[in-house]
Structure 1
């Protein structure tokens, strides 16, 4: 048993009681010989290993195993120290002090210091980084000593720690050695050394990488958390399997051990299998439709002289035509919560009144279309993912059917997430399905990426709607530095009120996520849908089924 676990000084950064540390130590000692290989299947692969290139779930899902940020958010929603041991505002309310963990090594054996934090934050703030909207409040990062950093912001920024949970720390020396001082530009189809190689401080190192096929990770012997975390998964084999039926068949046959992105129609069958364990929980993710309200004419419509989506009456017609309750029952089989706001209930600023879903009204939808000048409807293409969200392609087909009843002839074009994301980032779509999680648990994250004018104030990176409102932009920017919580909350409500009225997005539902695995594993659903494998404890289960 590692005696450091009994030290209050060592336990304190993790907010554990002395008794909890003793119990944890006993578990670690008992479990140390139970290291396992976990074959892990998902519907889609990470598009790159560059941690600052793209801000999306599949990338974070894999990268959190090999890289680490200063802070992570665990399944209970709490912030946990990682490469930072503590953080607090200084006497200057615009300056945060982060004390860094000592003795941490990168996978190449070099030591982690404040220089790597300065470099990584600067890299993540660069124009080619999809993470920079999270860091726009930062004006300077100062090294106080080798293990202390001051981050200066433009005014008081109470949510800065929350914004850092997906900002991975790279080795400055490694990045400079391999010419990757700036992030890869995925929209330009650029490949760099960081696209397929890693050098993090995380619990796992990269053994091999075959994009869209197989990635192998092994435990890092020099990991700083050894003796503190269970670390019972010794090897991770990550297997992107696009076809839902194939993923399920691989689990049932024993070819894989753990599956995310389960097809809803198979969940009951997996529940009934005594050799398997199925865990479910609400996910921090809303599925919605985005509409191009700014371009004239649309690219993917049979209306060539104007943009029908620019007319709010058309957007209202779309809203009324879609039966979210029917999607919940028929498509999602109950594993969704219909909503009318592009943020789940986890998020600060969410209000039940905003999320309330009204009844579909096809007759009123037809009237609105006629009033807008489209009595016979019109044609439009709905771009849809087919490998990312639960029953995503089926959702789009249902939406097309509902719009068809109102007279809108909707052609569904399904494609992988990588293509969909590229189209959204380049604004090459008029009507699209997408999903959005909010890792900061604050509405400002939604506004910064999805509502703010694209490219202005380093925000709006994922706003493909072309929506632009100078007053709303000003209000969004103010959220980053507003220290008065009541005033800030009032601004959030004002922005949400405008977003709800404008209908630039049509929310559909919040996902309920399901994991299935061999019974000897017990992997809880994290609301972010990002498992932290270093934290998992093998369950004590002596049943015959578990032994198989």
Structure 2
């Protein structure tokens, strides 16, 4: 598979991107067209720094923009920065696009960049890891900013493609200078209001019910869409969402359950766009507490024992999950990153040990748990494709080897509050690196949680060698050496059974015929590319 990141270019010591327009010129089509679409959940917040969740960030990307963006094939493209370079090994200089205005008419300048990145680093931000290497920000002039690091970071541009810029004046005026943390249940003006530089603005919003967006008249980009209004409706029920598409109530729905693909494709007015996700679903196990929560294994934590973690792995029939729950569309994951993520190596993408319930029972007995033990599994029921059904299946499989698991399935808001607060013993969570690079997976889901890294390492897996390699990978400019270190780090986690990768789900978007959208493997719908015949 062709990789979306041309890392050998991105890691060039003097990497300089020319300044073509982010969007090519396109003749505007007929005006007055409304695009109606539905997803299974609503954005968790309008604060662009509040939660590092793929859907929330991609949705907010219609209103807010980063310095460096992504094109239709996930390639790096200029956004609010027209070019970037390294005048010194530990400095990235960003040349800002001039003439850009926020939706309220305020000019975009270097002051907004520095304010936004300082805000990203504050407590309450879930995006701090994207600029964890940045130690200082310097305004060269109104349209030039230097980001300074303690040591070289050749991949900074790919790390910040979902790190959005806010208006300093707007945030300060409205008491939103600090992030409104979703995890801590903190809210401020930015939670329910937005003011970005993006192609759309929010015209009206009823959280959890409906949001209307309209084109931003101040947007700097050249128009490709002929949509004059967008109506977004969160519809959690798969059946209701599909029915809305088939009846013509909406123009697009996603995700489409595999069992409904044939119905949509068999309807003359609709079709299904298919692909494969870059998100890896994984199981995290508490490897930190001395006593496992909500367990009859009193005074100890069985999940600290590698034999127990391997037993859990060998008790799970990944083929059954793929075939019976995912309709044969998922890719069983042998490693923590998907094909298409930079650093992926197919040699690692195989099972660490075969599905073997009898071997799992023997491992549990060897570890001192011949009769198993009890614990709770945390799972979302509205975030990932078939999330609760997958968790139910895993609970059943673990029960066959003597592990008594109680499933705690909740809405994604409550789920993230719980697991990101490290209040979990065993959880299924997904991770798609915003940089589309393996370093993000290592830093954010596998590095020992400390300061701003390891945020999504909810089981507190810790291997000092993995931490050491993660730091080296971030600064290594030689692609071959870098990939070798990624392979080594991923192998260590795999051998430790530090996490259990499950799969990458298949992508399926249902659209009415005459609706033109760009299906990207990051599952992000970009409204600026939507057109209606």
Distance 2:359 2:322 in 1: 22
Structure 1 residue 483: deviation in Å?
3.2
**Match among 358, 373, 380 for residue 378 of structure 1:** 373
**2:396 is aligned with 1:390:** no
Residues 378 and 408, structure 2, Cα contact 8 Å, conserved in 1: yes
Structure 1 residue 34: deviation in Å?
4.1
Distance 1:240 1:191 in 2: 21
Structure 1 residue 86: deviation in Å?
1.1
Partner of residue 7, structure 1:
none
Residues 137 and 480, structure 1, Cα contact 8 Å, conserved in 2: no
Residues 515 and 532, structure 2, Cα contact 8 Å, conserved in 1: yes
Partner of residue 94, structure 1:
90
Residues 275 and 521, structure 2, Cα contact 8 Å, conserved in 1: yes
Distance 1:183 1:499 in 2: 32
**2:496 is aligned with 1:490:** no
**2:155 is aligned with 1:159:** yes
Residues 112 and 165, structure 2, Cα contact 8 Å, conserved in 1: yes
Partner of residue 20, structure 2:
14
Partner of residue 108, structure 1:
104
Residues 60 and 530, structure 1, Cα contact 8 Å, conserved in 2: no
Partner of residue 179, structure 1:
175
Partner of residue 466, structure 2:
472
Q: How many residues align?
A: 516
Partner of residue 140, structure 1:
136
Q: Which protein has the bigger helix share?
A: 1
Residues 49 and 194, structure 1, Cα contact 8 Å, conserved in 2: yes
Distance 2:349 2:295 in 1: 30
Distance 1:446 1:145 in 2: 35
Partner of residue 84, structure 1:
81
Partner of residue 432, structure 1:
427
**2:270 is aligned with 1:273:** no
Residues 285 and 426, structure 2, Cα contact 8 Å, conserved in 1: yes
**Match among 271, 277, 290 for residue 284 of structure 2:** 290
Residues 137 and 481, structure 1, Cα contact 8 Å, conserved in 2: no
Distance 2:37 2:450 in 1: 37
Partner of residue 455, structure 1:
450
Structure 1 residue 121: deviation in Å?
1.2
| Larger deviation, residues 500-509 vs 471-480 | 471-480
Distance 2:386 2:72 in 1: 24
SS of the residue 1:186 aligns to: coil
SS of the residue 1:329 aligns to: helix
**Match among 210, 217, 225 for residue 213 of structure 2:** 217
The two structures have a TM-score, normalised by structure 1, of: 0.91
1:273-292 superposed Cα distances (whole Å, 9 cap, x missing partner): 11012101111111111111
Structure 1 residue 12: deviation in Å?
6.7
**Match among 64, 71, 74 for residue 61 of structure 2:** 64
**Match among 478, 503, 516 for residue 509 of structure 1:** 503
- Runs of 5+ consecutive residues of structure 2 not aligned to the other structure: 1-16
**Match among 382, 398, 401 for residue 403 of structure 1:** 398
Residues 376 and 406, structure 2, Cα contact 8 Å, conserved in 1: yes
**2:344 is aligned with 1:350:** yes
Distance 1:486 1:61 in 2: 31
SS of the residue 1:341 aligns to: coil
**2:41 is aligned with 1:44:** yes
Partner of residue 208, structure 1:
204
Distance 1:269 1:248 in 2: 9
Distance 1:129 1:368 in 2: 41
